[in-house]
Amino acid sequence: MAQKVRKTHKTQRKSIIPPFLAYWEKENYILFLAGIIVCVVGFFYMSVQPWNSFSSLVISPILLFIGYAIIFPAAILYRKKKSEPSEVN
């Protein structure tokens, strides 16, 4: 009578690298934190009384624009240039 042979499969788990660890470096996190700080300061200036003050109507929108339209995209898109090894002759 034939014997049944059990085949054992060793499953290897693929290590999934989270996107932030794969692409973001220290500079990206610093830019992102700067964007958060600029936006918080912009919202603070927006809340200053009276509502029609110079800081509420001029400074706040400028800070929020800089934070949302310039710093956050820069934090996402910034990537360090990799230095190419130089050839020695």
* pLDDT of the residue at 19: 66
**pLDDT tens for the 89 residues of the chain, in order:** 667 777 666 666 777 777 666 778 899 999 999 999 999 999 999 998 898 899 999 999 999 999 999 999 999 998 887 777 666 65
* pLDDT of the residue at 58: 94
Q: Are 32 and 72 in contact (CB under 8 A)?
A: yes
DSSP per residue, 28-86: HHHHHHHHHHHHHHHHHHHHSSSTTSHIIIIIHHHHHHIIIIIIHHHHHH--PPPPPPP
